[in-house]
């Protein structure tokens, strides 16, 4: 019993403060629509970075992003369209050498880090100090508990403690209020997004026997492993294959535990590598804490995500598939109740580069700057 | 507690009788090597049927298989190499019209059914009555309990009761003794093989808290869905996609329950469709019934499969991947123990058309006719 | 020599009339921007139809398309989002039963046929007679010469002769002027688009020795074969395979010959089936008619497509790849000149469902209704 | 005219000497079957090397191969089964440190180089000097003409001239006689094998207008690019894509020209990268030199390959597809004659790692040591 209550308490604690409930909070101040938002992007050559540039380039309220590189960090490219000829015919996406002063002069409002976590851990504090708002797509600032951060191997710099504390976990369906005023936004992990969004409504409703243990069997496309070539991402190795990895040890576990307020012993999370370029499907097995109908389970999802434009509830009639959410910012959620009513399976899908990374980052930018949550994402 | 003991009891009961333990039983009579075994195959045009023909055609102790069709049941092909030009240059694989008498005249020893279960349900009793030994690759004869068979929608013909009872579930690593004398051999389902072989050693050793519930999250390549074209197997639908199906309702559940001797409430089995042609990986989550080391877990697997040529234990050092077992008759098994020692994950892989179908059928044929279990499978 | 000149003459003849040159013709009347264009679509359940609906649904100058079905022609679906759950969350795309009167009452301006050619051959004349403008994505109305149409197996109805004559071949980069006033627009074939756009500039410039023969080796993704399931599009058959088909006999040959004004003996076109869902790449081999530099070859392409927003010239520096044009309306063209300067290879790529079908149809709609050629396609 | 005759002369010249015609030469001495042939392999960790080890390990006349590495050249692996767990359960494939003396002591008969050409260029002469027979899978020794070798960037060491001259181009269907006595066998390139085998019969028969030019449009799976990771072989880059490369500049051109005895101006060869792991399909376009029937074309192929076990002629009835030859040592050849009888298209397929590399190497080994040409390849 304690574990289950602990789950709910934890969820509330994460939300708490001046915002009284999860989700959209009408009491929060909305800035005026800012039609000329100026973004800058570190790490544009990676898969998430490229998607981010594509989204920002056609965002109705943002001007063309500035692509920033430090020495050698753009892979030797002068323009992003050299790495991604998909961008040809759109006027060029030149890299600029890194300079806070030039970014200020250019009127940058928000700095995105689509970089390794070490990079973000180093430069995000500087960016904040320079007065920029920061959206970080890495795992550098997502975790509140020091022991959970340990998996990343950071040196824990005492000067970073205030930022670790004030950084906002950017899952808009849970934290829209804090996101609006965030200075440092930690964009969630792709697996974590698929798991937290599926489980949060039922855990909050008290439907899940958390103490019994939750199994999250997740499967991701290869872009989740990044663009750096390795034997593990070689086409000949991946095609026709399928494998589990990081059993009991994946970095995203900490996010799930902290966000759902559950203890480590209650979660078994196994990621797998799918032979597809993008997309995540999580199959989540729960024991129900009390008798509940399929309609109640569905209503808990529907009610939780009412007014949330980027979650689609498929319910019990049809399960989501990876393809349905590809190239969109949706997280799709469906479920099935066991015939004896004691157990249920949740299935959630999303595009790991969009709702799992760049799309969610833009969704967060929209909230941070008082824009329509859907702007630039349709 | 009862569930767990029920599990072990069930396993023993399945084996029981004159064979005193699972696995190879030296007291069983081995026939003399039969160098001119004559097989006949129904259903050669399907994916399993084709693999079966390929295996039999190069089997050192079998002569070229006779391919039998009823009206229209070979898809209009006169020779199997029209459907599978891969076979070109091997002298032809002509279909013969169905006639028990001609099969007798040809000296057929064993009849394989690589057909839909309705077909096998209809013709296997005739074949037995004609004096042939039968290996059936469908689900027609695998299940002992009437309520488990219901999922197939058979009309339960009282005349079939003796055959339902005497049919041997052809998982050689569990039932080699009964297999040797089987008249009607029910070749196991592909998913069921991957799950039963992974779980049997630990359940038998009493390591698994069966009552807590076992989660089997399985993923299969598309050939498991058969060769009949449908929207669900269209390349454009499958490529880049991944989906769960038959949650809480897959036909192979009954086999797993009966073979492992556990109750339906203890198993959550979810199959998924992988965008690859062949291969199965099952990720199996168990709660341990008692404190046990990784070495003990590995030893339970290694010991159980000692002398079994077609199971490879990968242990805790490296998990199997689908690719390792493709185009082989191996079932590969590995595992990972949780840091707190309370839970474990098993991963098993096999080629659904070989160890999951045609390869296992040949392995069973080898045992039934006193041949080396590895003959024709290397 | 005659063949080569014939080639150029043919090209001019195709364009001729009141428009003085290929491409954009400033003298043509542009209608006022029509912000509430009302489209109707037959055949929305196919791959091209679905893409068309997606494009129209977000087109800034078009209202939500009406989806029309005749008996059974929507595959039993009440709403397109049942067939394509990708569309979930967008308010529904219900099918309406076919009725010209209801389409009139609804204010339909343009009727799209994303249907088999027989269907279009039957209903397009009726639609014209009812006063609708028609955009046909099938091969029904593309060919001017009776002998070229024979490949489709139409009964040649004398009443259709005026429509065969007045139908406009909707390749906007060649025929924008006629397109603007077209009543019946024949949207080009996917292969034909990739070949004609690559060859037209050099043939017009007199660079190609047409009489020597042109080899077009084209490769297409599987969606080009349509959505109807068959053994040929079964995932297990396609994945890992690659094959040529319809050598010397593909239906798109006629379009290429008519549009480029060359004789059948001058074209060797071989289509191939790629194990990818979408995209076409054509590798085109020509003998040069005269000494010409790489710069002249590139300039001929660049000049020809100046002001054409949906062709990107990659030139000799980097060849296009299928991925660059996927999910866009671009046709990408590049080339390589042989070291001895006597031969050249053109490579063109496009997305067969967009520039090769639905995207080009919308581009044509834009021209027909005086809209920006890029509207709804970015 | 000269070009065409040059073609035939060239072919004869390549064959010439004591063997009177292409193909099997009954006058050549067959050694006794050598049941204990001892092979050694450099470069076992690459894709071709791994296939070679698999073939040799089950070869009935060869003992388990010795895997040899120089410092660091096995990727840090102690046993090949670490890199390829597919090999598990077969008793281990340990690497040995490089030492000619140890190889002699072990009784090695033949040394395979499945290594980069620089490696083979350096060590093959030593191996010959040590008295081993050598089969080299790289491009190091395939080319007779210095200008053709230039593409590899070798320093031309005068000491190597005798070996360049005596090395035998190991295409068994053309050079079985020389192969039998070869000391240094240069195993052909994968693309070259698919092209030469398709064209040789018709060129020899005088059917091809060589001077007009031959277009070879070839497509290969990704394993042809080797196992070293790079952005170009990253799964996310390859999947769903297709591209041409090395237009007018691929290294295999020289082999085709030398073996077919044609001039560089007569060949346009464009390789493409298919999103599949293995397999090559070449589409070859020729102008016919004289009127010829489809039956004559087919007979030329059938006659040429009579008695050749590893070429299958599909003829005009059905074209080969990549899948038909995968995991076999076959080269499959089919064709189509144009309706006007003036042109023809040849299609040839093979598995680039087998008939295009390791399988052909074993076929050559069989010939070199007087074994059945099919031994170990079925």
Looking at residue C305, its pLDDT comes to 98
| A216 band by pLDDT with thresholds 50, 70 and 90 | very high
Contact A268 B281 (CB under 8 A): no
% of residues, chain B, pLDDT over 70: 90
Weakest-pLDDT range from B36-45, C22-31, C177-186, C268-277:
C22-31
CATH number (domain holding residue B59): 3.40.50.720
| C264 band by pLDDT with thresholds 50, 70 and 90 | confident
C150/D contact by beta carbon, under 8 A: no
Pick from D243, D272, D276: which is nearest to C240 by CB?
A: D276
Residues of D involved in catalysis: 190
- Backbone φ and ψ for C98, nearest 5 degrees, come out as -65, 125
Looking at residue D214, its pLDDT comes to 98
Looking at residue D28, its pLDDT comes to 39
CB B311 within 8 A of CB C274: no
Say yes or no: A197 and A170 in one domain.
Answer: no
Pick from B58, B89, B324: which is nearest to D312 by CB?
A: B89
pLDDT at D92 over 80: yes
Say yes or no: D172 and D287 in one domain.
Answer: no
CB atoms within 10 A of CB C9: 12
A310/C contact by beta carbon, under 8 A: no
Q: Give the residue among C147, C79, C56 at the shortest CA–CA distance from C364.
A: C56
% of residues, chain A, pLDDT over 90: 81
Q: Is residue D143 part of a domain?
A: yes
Structure tokens at A178: 């804090």
Q: What is the pLDDT of residues A292-351, one digit of tens each?
A: 999 999 999 999 999 999 999 998 889 999 999 999 999 999 999 999 999 999 999 999
Q: Give the residue among A244, A241, B220, B321 at the shortest CA–CA distance from D85.
A: B321
Looking at residue A71, its pLDDT comes to 74
Q: Give the residue among A190, A30, A177 at the shortest CA–CA distance from A114.
A: A190
Helix (H) or strand (E) holding C368: helix C358-368
pLDDT at B82 over 80: yes
| A31 band by pLDDT with thresholds 50, 70 and 90 | very low
Q: What is the pLDDT of residues A293-310, one digit of tens each?
A: 999 999 999 999 999 999
Looking at residue C72, its pLDDT comes to 67
Looking at residue C13, its pLDDT comes to 31
Say yes or no: D344 and D203 in one domain.
Answer: yes
Say yes or no: D216 and D242 in one domain.
Answer: yes
Q: Is residue B7 part of a domain?
A: no
Pick from B86, B239, B324: which is nearest to D86 by CB?
A: B324
Weakest-pLDDT range from A53-57, A199-203, A247-251, C181-185:
A247-251
pLDDT at D161 over 80: yes
Residue of B34 and D97 predicted with greater confidence: D97
Looking at residue B42, its pLDDT comes to 97
pLDDT at B15 over 70: no
Nearest C-alpha in D relative to B318:
D85
Nearest C-alpha in D relative to B236:
D240
Looking at residue B29, its pLDDT comes to 36
Nearest C-alpha in C relative to D246:
C336
Say yes or no: D344 and D362 in one domain.
Answer: no
Secondary structure letter of residue B54 according to DSSP:
H
Contact B47 C275 (CB under 8 A): no
Q: Is residue A207 part of a domain?
A: yes
A321/B contact by beta carbon, under 8 A: yes
* Beta strand spans in chain B (E): 39-42, 66-69, 95-97, 110-113, 133-136, 168-169, 184-186, 214-220, 243-244, 267-273, 280-287, 311-315, 331-337, 343-350
Say yes or no: A182 and A303 in one domain.
Answer: no
| A34 band by pLDDT with thresholds 50, 70 and 90 | very low
Nearest C-alpha in C relative to D220:
C242
Q: Is residue D228 part of a domain?
A: yes
**In chain D, which residues have their Cβ closer than 8 Å to the Cβ of C287?**
213
pLDDT at A231 over 70: yes
Residue of B58 and C2 predicted with greater confidence: B58
Taking residues B161-186, report their average pLDDT.
97
**In chain B, which residues have their Cβ closer than 8 Å to the Cβ of A328?**
none
B85/C contact by beta carbon, under 8 A: no
Domain range for A269 is 191-350
Say yes or no: C253 and C295 in one domain.
Answer: yes
**In chain C, which residues have their Cβ closer than 8 Å to the Cβ of D297?**
none
Q: What is the pLDDT of residues A239-257, one digit of tens each?
A: 999 999 999 888 889 999 9
B328/D contact by beta carbon, under 8 A: yes
**Cα(A72)–Cα(A76) distance, rounded to whole angstroms?**
6
CB atoms within 10 A of CB C232: 14
Weakest-pLDDT range from C134-138, C333-337, D150-154:
D150-154
B76: left (phi over 0), alpha (psi -120 to 50) or beta: left
Contact D339 C237 (CB under 8 A): no
% of residues, chain C, pLDDT over 70: 90
Q: What is the pLDDT of residues A96-137, one digit of tens each?
A: 999 999 999 999 999 999 999 999 999 999 999 999 999 999
Mean pLDDT of chain A: 90
Pick from C237, C242, C265: which is nearest to D274 by CB?
A: C242
Say yes or no: A202 and A158 in one domain.
Answer: no
pLDDT at D4 over 50: no
Nearest C-alpha in B relative to C228:
B231
Weakest-pLDDT range from B317-331, C163-177, D62-76, D132-146:
D62-76
Q: What is the pLDDT of residues D223-254, one digit of tens each?
A: 999 999 999 999 999 999 999 999 988 888 99
Query: How many residue pairs bridge chain B and chain C with CB atoms within 8 Å of each other?
Result: 61
Weakest-pLDDT range from A12-16, C33-37, C125-129:
A12-16
Q: Is residue A2 part of a domain?
A: no
pLDDT at D72 over 80: no
Looking at residue A72, its pLDDT comes to 67
pLDDT at A143 over 70: yes
Say yes or no: D43 and D83 in one domain.
Answer: yes
Taking residues C214-230, report their average pLDDT.
96
**Cα(C64)–Cα(C57) distance, rounded to whole angstroms?**
5
- C-alpha to C-alpha distances, A151 to A223, A246, A253, C194, C222, nearest whole angstrom: 21, 12, 10, 51, 44
Give DSSP secondary structure letters for C161-201: HHHHHH-EE--HHHHHHHHHT-SEEEPPPHHHHHHHHHHHH
ipTM value, please give it: 0.91
Query: How many residue pairs bridge chain A and chain D with CB atoms within 8 Å of each other?
Result: 60
Say yes or no: C84 and C218 in one domain.
Answer: no
Q: Is residue C12 part of a domain?
A: no
**Residue B239 to chain D, least CA–CA distance (Å):** 9
| D70 band by pLDDT with thresholds 50, 70 and 90 | confident
Nearest C-alpha in D relative to B322:
D86
Looking at residue B131, its pLDDT comes to 96
**In chain A, which residues have their Cβ closer than 8 Å to the Cβ of B237?**
323
Interface test with C, best of A54, A58, A85, A326 (most C CBs within 10 A): A85
**Residue C271 to chain B, least CA–CA distance (Å):** 18
Q: Is residue B378 part of a domain?
A: no
Contact A239 D47 (CB under 8 A): no
pLDDT at C241 over 60: yes
Q: Give the residue among A272, A277, A298 at the shortest CA–CA distance from A191.
A: A272
Secondary structure letter of residue C304 according to DSSP:
H
Say yes or no: C175 and C283 in one domain.
Answer: no
* Beta strand spans in chain A (E): 39-42, 66-69, 95-97, 110-113, 133-136, 168-169, 184-186, 214-220, 243-244, 267-273, 280-287, 311-315, 331-337, 343-350
Say yes or no: C122 and C36 in one domain.
Answer: yes
pLDDT at B21 over 80: no
Nearest C-alpha in C relative to B84:
C237
**In chain D, which residues have their Cβ closer than 8 Å to the Cβ of C347?**
244, 247
Q: What is the pLDDT of residues B299-347, one digit of tens each?
A: 999 999 999 999 999 988 899 999 999 999 999 999 999 999 999 999 9
pLDDT at B75 over 80: no
**In chain D, which residues have their Cβ closer than 8 Å to the Cβ of A234?**
227, 229, 233-235
Domain count, chain D: 2
CATH number (domain holding residue D233): 3.30.360.10
Residue of C158 and B212 predicted with greater confidence: B212
Contact B239 C235 (CB under 8 A): yes
CB B318 within 8 A of CB B334: yes
**Cα(A342)–Cα(A352) distance, rounded to whole angstroms?**
31
CB B343 within 8 A of CB B286: yes
Q: Is residue B10 part of a domain?
A: no
Residue of A57 and B8 predicted with greater confidence: A57
**Cα(D33)–Cα(A2) distance, rounded to whole angstroms?**
77
- Please report the residues numbered 221 through 240 in chain C whose beta carbons come closer than 8 angstroms to any beta carbon of chain D: 237, 239-240
**Cα(B193)–Cα(B352) distance, rounded to whole angstroms?**
9
**Cβ partners under 8 Å of residue B135, min gap 6:** B110, B111, B112, B113, B170, B185, B187, B361, B364, B365, B368
Contact A233 D238 (CB under 8 A): no
Contact D242 C213 (CB under 8 A): no
pLDDT at B1 over 70: no
Q: Which of C177, C190, C216, C349 is catalytic?
A: C190
Contact A319 B279 (CB under 8 A): no
**Residue B225 to chain C, least CA–CA distance (Å):** 10
Contact A227 D231 (CB under 8 A): yes
SS3 B302: helix
**In chain C, which residues have their Cβ closer than 8 Å to the Cβ of D248?**
336-339, 345
Structure tokens at B41: 């195959």
Q: Bridge-partner residues for B243, per DSSP? A: B273
- C-alpha to C-alpha distances, A351 to A190, A327, D240, nearest whole angstrom: 8, 6, 17
Helix (H) or strand (E) holding D259: helix D253-260
A63/B contact by beta carbon, under 8 A: no
């Amino acid at each position: 019993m304690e574990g289950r209550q602990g789950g709910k308490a934890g969820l509330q604690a994460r939300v708490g403060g001046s915002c009284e409930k999860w989700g959209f909070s009408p009491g929060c101040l909305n800035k005026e629509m800012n039609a000329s938002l100026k973004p800058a992007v570190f790490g544009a050559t990676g898969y998430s970075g490229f998607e981010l540039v594509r989204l920002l380039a056609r965002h109705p309220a943002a001007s063309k992003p500035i692509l920033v590189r430090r020495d050698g960090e753009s892979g030797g490219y002068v323009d992003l369209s050299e790495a991604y000829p998909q961008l040809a015919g759109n006027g060029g996406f030149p890299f600029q050498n890194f300079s806070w002063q030039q970014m200020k002069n250019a009127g940058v409002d928000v700095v995105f880090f689509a970089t390794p976590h070490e990079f973000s851990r180093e430069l995000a504090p500087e960016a904040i100090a320079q007065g920029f708002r920061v959206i970080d797509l890495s795992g550098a600032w997502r975790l509140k508990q020091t022991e959970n951060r340990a998996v990343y191997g950071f040196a824990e710099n005492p000067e970073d403690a205030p930022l670790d504390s004030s950084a906002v976990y950017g899952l808009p369906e849970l934290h829209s209020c804090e996101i609006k005023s965030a200075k440092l936004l930690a964009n969630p992990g792709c697996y974590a997004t698929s798991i937290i969004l599926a489980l949060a409504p039922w855990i909050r409703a008290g439907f899940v026997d958390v103490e019994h243990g939750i199994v999250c069997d997740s499967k991701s496309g290869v872009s989740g492993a990044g663009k750096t070539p390795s034997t593990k991402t070689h086409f000949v190795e991946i095609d026709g294959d399928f494998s589990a990895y990081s059993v009991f040890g994946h970095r995203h576990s900490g996010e799930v535990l902290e966000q759902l307020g559950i203890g480590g012993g209650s979660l078994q999370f196994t990621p797998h590598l799918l032979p597809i370029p993008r997309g995540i499907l999580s199959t989540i097995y729960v024991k129900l804490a009390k008798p509940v109908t399929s309609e109640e389970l569905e209503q808990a999802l529907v009610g939780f995500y009412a007014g949330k434009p980027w979650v689609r509830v498929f319910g019990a009639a049809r399960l989501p598939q990876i393809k349905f959410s590809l190239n969109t910012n949706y997280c799709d959620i469906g479920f099935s109740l066991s015939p004896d009513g004691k157990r249920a399976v949740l299935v959630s899908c999303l595009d790991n580069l969009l709702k799992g990374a760049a799309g969610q980052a833009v969704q967060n930018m929209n909230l941070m700057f008082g824009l329509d949550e859907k702007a630039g994402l349709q």
